[in-house]
Structure 1
Amino acid sequence: MKLTKNILIIITLMLCITGCNDFLEDTLQYTSEEEVITSGLRSRGIIEDIYTDYSFRYFTDFSVEYLTDNGVLNSSETNYANNNWGAAESHPYNYVWQQSYNNIRQVYQYIDLVHDAGLPYLPSEASQPFSDKIVARYYGEAHFLKAWAEWELLKIYGGPSADGTMLGFPIVNGTLENEEYATLSRNTYDECVDQIMADLDVAIENLPLIYSGSENDNPGYSDLETGRASGLAAYALKAKVALFAASPAFNPSNDNSKWVLAAEYAHEVIEQNGGLKSLQPFNNSREDNPDQIWRMRNSRNNNSLEQRLYPPTLYGQGEVNPSQNLVDAFPDSNGYPISNASSLYDPATPYSSRDNRFYKFIFYNGDQCFQSENCTNYNALEMFEGGLDNFGGFIPNEGTRTGYYLKKYLNNLNFDPSAINATTTLPKVYVQLGLTDIYLSYAEAVYNAYGQAETAPPGLNYSAKEVIAEIRKRAGFTSDPYLDEAAADANLFENLIKNERRIELCFTGERFHDLRRWKDIVNIENVNGVKITKNEDETFSYDNIQVEARGYGNKNYYLPLPYDELIINTNLKQNQGW
């Protein structure tokens, strides 16, 4: 791994008691150690810089989604989706190892050179109470960001060695020289979980639960600081780590205590957040959405999502094409799977009477606006054969390969081309940890730990069914007969949890890791699309087509360690099968 020595990447910040609501957007400079230890405010740039690695990763998430059955890139076949990579080849997560260890090292540089050296945030004696408060906050941020880097290492590289020992990553506690990194061995998976939890406990001790209020009333902890690590984010990450640790791929003995712990950690997040609450409407432009536990703020003039996601006739590239498989996962408007005998689904009009999330997440043939299924303000999108939004219909060699485009993450859409520029500069919020994920994690953990859907387990306040009901209420299912039916059937309820997770977290990159941790990736479907033919009577015919094949084996429950690291460090053990 390539690690710099004695040079720190510092963000030049004029931080002051008025806060820094744009701290993720500042300019980088290179500053020597000697300068760092004499720069109170600017020295905190060591921490600020780390945030930039985790911000606005939409397109990274989309590329991970292409490894699943949820969608494809519009321009080419998906690399790696047919088990076509190895440790020596370009790896879809090849950057994570070096990035994570660079950030861990940077955290320790901050702790050693700034925090442990007693460098104040503000030098004057009069400002000491405020300065001490900010120093504690940065110490908590440092431990959270270290835990996040460790979590990414564990999520990507955790797996069994050749002898079956479940391993994680080499734990680093302190600033090491390059040659010391090259002698480290992987710790056990459980040791890595314990390390992450310990770092998050330090973060919780030093961070505010949330950032709130005005800067005058709550300086340094006000809502201007939203985007920084918080105590609630640390609780949420503990729940996420525990869920993975309990999952079949990483819990081969099915130790039920790990499922119980995952349920307890998710429950703790819910309670710290004020109990089981209704979820806020979908809106990734809203910067004060309380459901977005750790949300990263970005440029308010960034229109890359609109440019790359809009269909061609809306002057976009239509880059992300959701699959027919994903479309089929959306239930009908009453909450029934479209395969259920009670469903309102009609294959002759497949986009009528569907789950509200379908209309918010997917551009489909005949779609006319963002707000509702029946809006008739502008011309309908044409994904049918020969239509302008079909492949090559409006722009040569561009268009959908599946019959769909991704609408999720776009807000206040206006289909009037003359007004397109007015709708492409909304704020963008990238969510790393969200309440929906916690609700889904809680339901999954409770059901696996206790085997019951309708009763709250001892010591916990909510049943798995109650929590899933809150998720589905946002989709419009205030009356939910299918949830009642599924809660009484073990197979139906488990499938419902997984399907809700698929829908709610689609195009966040989560499905690839869910399929791995559930050991379901070997059963992944080929990616299907739809061929739409416009008939003479203005109706349409719909035929499923295969767009891309998928083919994974047992070794894909885990990912290979980077080949370069194995060459540098012979103490590292590769995951099974690689």
Structure 2
Amino acid sequence: MKLTNKILTIITLTIGITSCSEFLEDEIQYTREEVVTTSGLKSRGIIDDIYTDYSFRYTTDFSNEYLTDNGVANDTETILATGYWGPTNNPYNYVWQQSYDNIRQIYQYIDLVHNQDLQVYLSEGNQILNERLIDRYYGEALFLKAWAEWELLKVFGGPSESGEMLGFPIVNGILENEEYASLSRNTYDECVTQIMEDLDIAIAKLPLVYEGDENANPAFSATETGRASGLAAYALKAKVALYAASPAFNPSNDLSKWELAASYAQELIVQNGGLRSLQSFDFDNETNSDHIWRMRNDRNNNALEKSLYPPSLFGSGSVNPSQNLIDAFPDANGYPIDNGLSTYNNTVPYVSRDERFYKFVFYNDDQCFESADCSDFNALEIYEGGMDYYGGFNNSLGTRTGYYLKKYLNNLNFDPSVTTAVTTTLPKVYVQLELNDIYLGYAEALNEAFGEPSILPAGFNFTAKEVLAKIRQRAGLSTDPYLDISAANQSDFRNLLKNERRIELCFAGERFHDLRRWKDIDNIEDIKGVKISKNSDDTFSFENIDVERRNYEAKNYYLPLPYSELLINTNLKQNQGW
């Protein structure tokens, strides 16, 4: 792991978040320690810089999804999901160095700036603003430290060969290389405690949310949205606790850990105004209150649309959802498509499905983003010989599964033949922490802790069923008989909840880690797709096809520590099985 010493990396721009390619073009200034510690504004760049590591990570999220049964890339096989894994080709190896580099940078800020009480503005008359900024940046520092620690724990937490559940080496200060090389991994529970302590400090220093204008609410105004907030810290506590309670990291199934995870999720819900309905799906909405921690936006963005749109919409169709995921979407009444009460008809498989299906997936004959008459674009031709099949509109583009990803996309028009004014760019929102995730975590934890989804346990304000109902209500289920059936026992509710989590959080980079923490990853199915033929009467025929193998073992519940780190530090114990 590279540990820099006297040179601090500062981004000289503001923290406006842009596309991944534009991050690489940001002007970086290498500023010596003595300059940083005598300049209030430059010193805060030590913290601002870290946000860029966690923003606009759609490509990373999609790559994570290719490791699951939810989808594939349209141009290459997902090798790591079909064969050998190891310490040298773990796709998460970057997390180790990135996290420790950021933790070091945070300690640089605390030691060189915060602990020296370096004011942001040196002129008189800015006392209140300075006090708020000093507190806020310290709170941001502790939140970002907790986030880096969380990524280490999420990716590398696991049992040693002896069976001891380990996390990451906890760092308390700026280390020299030789000090780093002598560290050992702390226990998993010690790491959880460290993260929670950091988040509690962040909560004490940060505003719950950023709101109002700068004059009325200096340093805490809505213009600062995108920075760490108290609400984001509450949400992260809930996620950390959920993982700590999960089967992979809680082998004795200590029910108190599940109860604690539910209590942390409830704390977030209460702080957020109680159990409320979720906002409509809208991926260019910059004021969606469900986005607990959304990163600053690029207000003039279309890179994702150009990458994901089907060929006939002038995109590359780079992400292809699997038939497995399509089959997970229930019918319009909320029943699984293989349930006897379902209205699903396999001769017209895209009719009368859950509303999320239409918002998340481009499918054959689809022509709708949001217009009432569903005529936003020409009907997609994903059937053999069609415009969106390989060799159709673009002879080098197509889908390997019969589907393209629509989730996250705005309704833009790239047709060069259009002469009237069209919308070709819109803001893009990237969300790291979202309310639906916390709702799902609450329902899961409460169900596991008490086993009665419809019963309100003492000390809690909402039943697991009530909270999961909010997820399904946004999907168009004003009445939900299947939820009533599933909430009759713990096992059926667990299965429903896992499926809801799969749908709600698809292509957000969550499923791979969910499958690991549930100890389900070695049981996932191979990737399926669909071959569609157009009949002479303009109807379609559908045939399932094999697309990619999935070949995980039980050892994949945990991931290997990077081999390079084991060479540097022989005190590090590798995870079991590696």
Q: What band does the TM-score fall into relative to the shorter chain?
A: over 0.9
* Residues 10-52 of structure 1: CA deviation (Å, up to 9, x unaligned): 1225xxxxxx673787642110000001001121000000000
Structure 1: state its 5+ residue gaps: 14-19
What letter is aligned with 1:204? I
Percent same amino acid at aligned positions? 70
Q: For residue 190 of structure 1, what is the aligned residue in structure 2? A: 189
* Change beyond 3 A, Cα 1:522–1:139: same
> Contact between 2:241 and 2:257, CA under 8 Å: does it hold in 1?
yes
Question: What's the CA shift for 1:397?
Answer: 2.7
Instruction: Return the alpha-carbon distance in structure 2 between the equivalents of residues 65 and 209 of structure 1.
Output: 32
Give the counterpart letter for 1:241 in structure 2. Answer: V
Instruction: Give the secondary-structure state (helix, strand or coil) at the position aligned to 2:111.
Output: helix
**1:365-444 to 2 correspondence within 5 Å?**
365-371=364-370, 375-376=374-375, 378-413=377-412, 418=417, 422-444=422-444
Contact persistence 1:561–1:575 (CA under 8 A): yes
Q: Larger deviation: 431-440 or 76-85?
A: 76-85
**Could you tell me which residue of structure 1 aligns to residue 526 of structure 2?**
526
Partner Cα distance (2:476, 2:450) in 1: 28
Per-residue displacement from partner, 1:350-409 (whole Å, max 9, x unpaired)? 000001100000000000121269624542101101111012222123110000000000
- Give the superposition deviation at 1:438: 0.2
Distance 1:22 1:553 in 2: 42
Give how far 1:287 is off.
Answer: 1.0
Q: Counterpart of 1:432 in 2: which secondary structure?
A: strand
Runs of 4+ in 1 over 6 A off after TM superposition: 23-26
2:125 maps to what in 1?
126
Paired AA for residue 220 in structure 2: Y
Q: Tell me the equivalent position of 1:56.
A: 56
Q: Which residue of 2 aligns with 1:315?
A: 314
What per-residue deviation string (whole Å, max 9, x for no partner) do you get for residues 223-275 of structure 1? 00000000000000000000000000000011111001000000000000010
Letter in 1 for 2:368: C
Helix, strand or coil for the counterpart of 2:300? coil
TM-score by length of 1: 0.96
Does 1:460 pair with 2:454? Answer: no
**How far does residue 511 in structure 1 lie from its aligned partner after superposition?**
0.3
d(CA) in 1 for partners of 2:566, 2:375: 59
Does the CA-based 8 Å contact 2:17-2:296 persist in structure 1?
no
Q: 1:271-290 alignment to 2 at 5 Å?
A: 271-290=270-289
Q: How far did residue 94 of structure 1 move?
A: 1.1
- Secondary structure of 2:427's match? coil
CA 1:337/1:418 → structure 2, altered by over 3 Å: closer, same or farther?
farther
Pairwise CA distance, 1:215? 1.1
1:354 matched to 2:348: no
Closer/same/farther in 2, CA of residues 35 and 21 from structure 1, 3 Å limit: closer
Q: Distance in 2 between matches of 1:419 and 1:271?
A: 49
1:35 paired to 2:35: yes
Deviation of 1:118 (Å): 1.1
Partner of residue 16, structure 1: none
Letter in 2 for 1:124: S
State the distance in 2 between where 1:415 and 1:277 align: 37
Q: Which runs of 5+ in 2 are unaligned?
A: none
Distance 2:160 2:416 in 1: 55
Distance change >3 Å, CA 480–CA 514, structure 1 → 2: same
Letter in 2 for 1:156: V
Matched-pair contact (CA < 8 Å) for 2:451–2:489: no
Over 3 Å counting, the alpha-carbon distance change for 1:218 and 1:145 in structure 2 is same
Do the aligned partners of 2:17 and 2:298 also contact (CA within 8 Å) in 1? Answer: no
CA deviation vs aligned residue, 1:481-512 (integer Å, no higher than 9, x gap): 11111111333211110011000000001000
Distance in 2 (alpha carbons) for counterparts of 1:65 and 1:381: 24
Distance 1:427 1:402 in 2: 29
Query: Matched residue of 1:388: which SS?
Result: coil
Q: What TM-score do the two structures reach when normalised by structure 2?
A: 0.96
| Backbone CA RMSD of aligned residues | 1.6
- One-letter amino acid matched to 2:100: Y
Counterpart check, 1:106 vs 2:105: yes
CA contact (8 A) 1:294 1:431 kept: yes
Counterpart contact for 1:21–1:225, Cα < 8 Å: no
- Deviation of the 1:69 alpha carbon: 0.3
CA distance in structure 2 between the partners assigned to 1:422 and 1:85 by the alignment = 47
**1:329–1:499 contact (8 Å) kept in structure 2:** yes
Per the alignment, residue 506 of structure 1 pairs with 506
After superposition, the Cα gap between the structure-2 partners of 1:397 and 1:241, relative to the gap in structure 1 and judged at 3 Å, is same
Q: How far is the alpha carbon of 1:79 from its aligned partner?
A: 2.2
Distance 1:572-1:539 versus aligned 2 partners, 3 A rule: same
What residue number does 1:17 align with? none
Q: 1:419 to 1:253 in 2, by over 3 A?
A: farther
Secondary structure at the counterpart of residue 269 of structure 1: helix
Residue identity in the other structure for 2:16: D
